[in-house]
Amino acid sequence: MSQIISIDYPEFLANSMRLSKDDFGKEIKVSALVKLFEMGKISSGTAAKVLKISRIEFLDLLEKYNVGFLNSDNLKQDLENA
């Protein structure tokens, strides 16, 4: 089962990033999952599953957001969810 989150934002925000409406929505989704992972709220596997990519692809994606994945909290959570 899926849930939908609606976010109001000014049109100029997506335009300032030179993104279409759809691409902006994808960027918000990815950046939210990356931040949740960084905060230790979700595992890399969970984030990857939501994004429908492999865990390795998600870990590679973290570099784009300057987020490391080798901290003890994330590793512990990933091992528990493996």
C-alpha–C-alpha distance, residues 67 and 64, integer Å = 8
The pLDDT score that the predictor gives to residue 2 is: 86
Whole-number pLDDT of residue 32: 96
- The model's pLDDT over 25-56, given as tens digits with 9 standing for 90+, comes to 999 999 999 999 999 999 999 999 999 999 99
Residue 51's alpha-carbon distances to 12, 13, 76, in angstroms, are: 26, 23, 22
User: How many domains does the chain contain in total?
Assistant: 1
Quote the pLDDT of residue 72: 46
Residue 57 lies in a domain: yes
Q: Is residue 4 part of a domain?
A: no
Tell me the whole-structure pTM to 2 decimals: 0.79
Q: CA 36 → CA 10, 11, 29, 33, distances in Å? A: 24, 25, 11, 5
pLDDT band at 81 (very low <50, low <70, confident <90, very high): low
Evaluate if residue 75 carries a pLDDT over 90: no
**Is 21 exposed, middle or buried (CB count within 10 Å of its CB: 0-12, 13-18, 19+)?**
exposed
Which residue range is the domain that position 75 belongs to? Answer: 11-81
Residue 3 counted as domain residue = no
